[in-house]
């Protein structure tokens, strides 16, 4: 009787633990009324309307299906398997082209996944989804902007995979918890701070002033002036052709690789980082120093190798 009682007790514990994990089958499909299930209550109604309109465009123009799901927790379940099961149960994407996409967030577990249908799962597309996670979604989460992470990530996916872009919503979201990078992304991404899009606009120079300087300083001054004009000028997004915002030094480190941050720390190279407020695209411009004692590292390619000292 004691062994039987112990067995029943263990079975009850197992059933309780299984019940604590909400299976993906309990998440209702948003179709046919929309493409978003926001059980974590991250998104404002206006943002849901805006994103639903974007995902309708994806379906109408590309024949693809893209959905967004947020939950509070999956209680220790594997986030990628959980999201994949949900993707397969809903059958996202065209049956022949397998072009579905699911953006999944478990807020309290600090997990996020981008699930691609087989028609989108080429190595280039997988790398693209990793880049969206590192450069767009994770920086928003780490700064406490969970709603912005979901909205910006959805827009980046729609733009990168389906070529469709809509203007972002005007309302700001309340800060929520941060989130972890999925397993296929390096465990310590360079993003440490969400860049603010309200940075000061790039300065412009008066053409008459430029001509006067050119006449008075000769070729050396002209070359130096050209360098500063190039650094202070405007920059256009290569994806959506919108005017980009140049980030300051305290913000651009979030988008630099470790080797690039090391170059800036040593002063051998300086990077200008530009952020597109429309499609959240990020572009980097490299400026090598004219005179530096550092050369290119033969292992990593960064300009961080110091010249040997002369005895």
- Helices 123-132 + 146-162 axis angle, to 10: 150
CA distance 46 to 109: 26
Are 241 and 262 in contact by the 8 Å Cβ rule? The answer is no
Are 63 and 29 in contact by the 8 Å Cβ rule? The answer is no
Closest CA to 192 of 181, 203, 204: 181
Residues 64 and 149 in one domain: yes
Three-class DSSP category at 237: coil
Instruction: Classify residue 168: in a domain, yes or no.
Output: no
Residues 56 and 148 in one domain: yes
- 5, β-bridge pairs: none
Residue 293: the pLDDT is: 64
Place of tokens 């040997």: 308
% of the chain residues with pLDDT over 70? 65
Closest CA to 267 of 252, 289, 248, 286: 289
Residue 182: the pLDDT is: 54
The phi, psi pair for 64, rounded to 5°, reads -105, 165
Q: Domain residues for 285?
A: 207-306
Of 226 and 297, the one with more pLDDT: 297
Number of domains in the chain: 2
Are 69 and 86 in contact by the 8 Å Cβ rule? The answer is yes
Angle at 75 between CA 71 and CA 81, to 5 degrees: 75
Instruction: Classify residue 10: in a domain, yes or no.
Output: no
For 70-121, what is each residue's pLDDT tens digit?
999 999 899 999 999 999 999 999 889 999 999 999 999 999 999 999 999 8
Q: Residue 247: which pLDDT band, with cuts at 50, 70 and 90? A: confident
Instruction: Classify residue 100: in a domain, yes or no.
Output: yes
Residue at a domain's end among 144, 162, 180: 162
Residues 230 and 128 in one domain: no
Residues 150 and 215 in one domain: no
The CATH number covering residue 99 comes to 3.10.310.50
Q: What is the mean pLDDT of residues 132-150?
A: 94
% of the chain residues with pLDDT over 90? 38
CA distance 9 to 78: 26
Are 181 and 133 in contact by the 8 Å Cβ rule? The answer is yes
Residues 47 and 125 in one domain: yes
The phi, psi pair for 295, rounded to 5°, reads -120, 175
CA distance 258 to 260: 5
* Token pair recorded at residue 230: 């190039």
Residue at a domain's end among 100, 134, 162: 162
Residues 143 and 237 in one domain: no
Helical ranges in the chain per DSSP H: 2-20, 45-62, 79-90, 123-132, 138-142, 146-162, 207-232, 249-252, 258-266
For 30-68, what is each residue's pLDDT tens digit?
887 899 999 999 999 999 999 999 999 999 988 999 999
CA torsion angle 134 191 251 265 (round to 10): -120
Instruction: State the SS3 of 116-146.
Output: ECCCCCCHHHHHHHHHHHHHHHHHHHHCCCH
Residue 39: the pLDDT is: 94
Residues 116 and 225 in one domain: no
Instruction: Classify residue 248: in a domain, yes or no.
Output: yes
**299 pLDDT higher than 80:** no
CA distance 111 to 103: 11
Instruction: Classify residue 276: in a domain, yes or no.
Output: yes
Number of neighbouring beta carbons within 10 Å of residue 243: 14
- Regarding pTM above 0.85, the answer is no
Q: What is the mean pLDDT of residues 9-23?
A: 43
Mean pLDDT (the chain) is 74
Residue 47: the pLDDT is: 94
Residues 32 and 154 in one domain: yes
Are 178 and 172 in contact by the 8 Å Cβ rule? The answer is no
Task: Write out the H or E segment, with its range, that includes residue 148.
Answer: helix 146-162
């Amino acid at each position: 009787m004691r062994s039987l009682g112990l067995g029943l007790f263990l079975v009850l514990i197992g059933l309780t633990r299984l019940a604590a994990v909400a299976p993906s089958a309990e998440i209702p499909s948003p179709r046919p009324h929309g493409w978003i299930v926001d059980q974590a209550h991250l998104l404002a109604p206006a943002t849901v309307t805006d994103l639903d309109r974007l995902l309708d465009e994806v379906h109408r123009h590309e024949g693809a299906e893209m959905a967004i799901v947020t939950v509070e927790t999956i209680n220790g379940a594997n986030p990628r398997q959980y999201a994949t099961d949900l993707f397969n149960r809903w059958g996202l994407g065209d049956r022949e082209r397998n072009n579905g996409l699911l953006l999944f967030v478990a807020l309290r577990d600090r997990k996020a996944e981008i699930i691609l249908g087989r028609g989108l799962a080429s190595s280039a597309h997988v790398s693209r989804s990793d880049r969206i996670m590192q450069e767009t979604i994770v920086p928003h989460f780490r700064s406490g902007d969970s709603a912005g992470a979901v909205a910006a990530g959805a827009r980046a996916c729609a733009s990168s995979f389906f070529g469709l872009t809509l203007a972002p919503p005007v309302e700001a979201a309340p800060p929520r918890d941060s989130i972890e990078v999925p397993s296929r992304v390096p465990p310590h991404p360079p993003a440490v701070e969400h860049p603010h899009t309200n940075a000061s606009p790039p300065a412009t120079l008066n053409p008459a002033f430029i001509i006067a300087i050119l006449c008075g300083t000769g070729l050396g001054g002209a070359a130096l002036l050209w360098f500063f004009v190039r650094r202070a000028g405007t920059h256009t997004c290569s994806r959506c052709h919108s005017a980009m915002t140049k980030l300051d030094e305290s913000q651009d480190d979030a988008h630099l690789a470790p080797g690039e941050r090391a170059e800036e720390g040593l002063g051998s190279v300086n990077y200008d980082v530009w952020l597109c407020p429309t499609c959240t695209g990020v572009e980097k411009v490299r400026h090598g120093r004219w005179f530096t004692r550092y050369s290119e590292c033969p292992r990593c390619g960064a300009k961080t190798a110091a010249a040997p000292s002369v005895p």
